[in-house]
């Protein structure tokens, strides 16, 4: 008896060892191998891409060059339809030189959607809280019980009406039988 138990224990141990060895082999063979040189190349590529993006951002954020204005009177444009004949005057130089910073544009572009996402995630987190789920479960249970109660009352009322109808039909039949017997 002891030898059978010993053999079973050894078989179970051997099976576990084989399974562990198989899992280890699968993990080692499927794991992507990256050498130190590969990791350094990936890091260098990422740094180069970051430098390129920084250079491009610097180019895009440079203030636009406003050409120097000369003091001569502007020549009237012949293609202006609304020209009445008098000089319209110089446009306001403060408006021409007004440059909107990129950060302001980025803030306006991403600010509103970011606020919407934050509000939505807050509402979703609140709706999925344990307190809300419990309240919803309680209300649903209460509604189901009320619905069952209404159906039960309706069924009882219909059964009473049906029995009353049968009794009245039986009464009419008995009266009809009594009337026939009298005649």
Digit-coded pLDDT (tens) for 120-162: 999 999 988 999 999 999 999 999 999 999 999 999 999 999 9
Supply the mean pLDDT for the chain. 82
DSSP per residue, the chain:
-HHHHHHHHHHHHHHHHHHHHHHHHHHHHHSPP--HHHHHHHHHHHHHHHHHHHHHHHHHHSPPPPPPPPSSPPPPPTT-TT--SS---PPPHHHHT----HHHHHHHHHHHHHHHHHHHHHHHHHHTSHHHHHHHHHHHHHHHHHHHHHHHHHHHHHHHHHHHHHHHHHHHHHHHHHHHHH-
According to the model, what pLDDT value does residue 83 have?
A: 53
pLDDT digit string (tens) for 83-115? 565 555 555 566 566 777 888 877 778 888 888
């Amino acid at each position: 008896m002891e030898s059978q138990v010993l053999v079973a224990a050894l078989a179970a141990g051997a099976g576990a060892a084989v399974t562990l060895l198989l899992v280890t082999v699968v993990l080692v063979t499927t794991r992507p191998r990256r050498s130190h040189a590969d990791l350094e190349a990936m890091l260098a590529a990422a740094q180069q891409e970051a430098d390129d993006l920084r250079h491009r951002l610097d180019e895009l954020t440079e203030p636009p060059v406003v050409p120097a204005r000369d003091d001569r009177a502007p020549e009237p444009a012949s293609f202006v339809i609304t020209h009445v004949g008098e000089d319209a005057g110089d446009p306001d130089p403060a408006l021409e030189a007004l440059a909107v910073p990129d950060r302001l544009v980025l803030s306006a572009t991403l600010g509103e959607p970011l606020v919407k996402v934050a509000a939505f995630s807050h509402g979703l987190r609140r709706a999925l809280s344990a307190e809300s789920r419990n309240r919803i479960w309680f209300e649903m249970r209460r509604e189901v019980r009320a619905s069952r109660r209404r159906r039960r009352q309706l069924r009882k009322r219909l059964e009473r009406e049906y029995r009353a109808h049968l009794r009245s039909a039986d009464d009419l039949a008995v009266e009809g039988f009594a009337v026939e017997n009298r005649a």
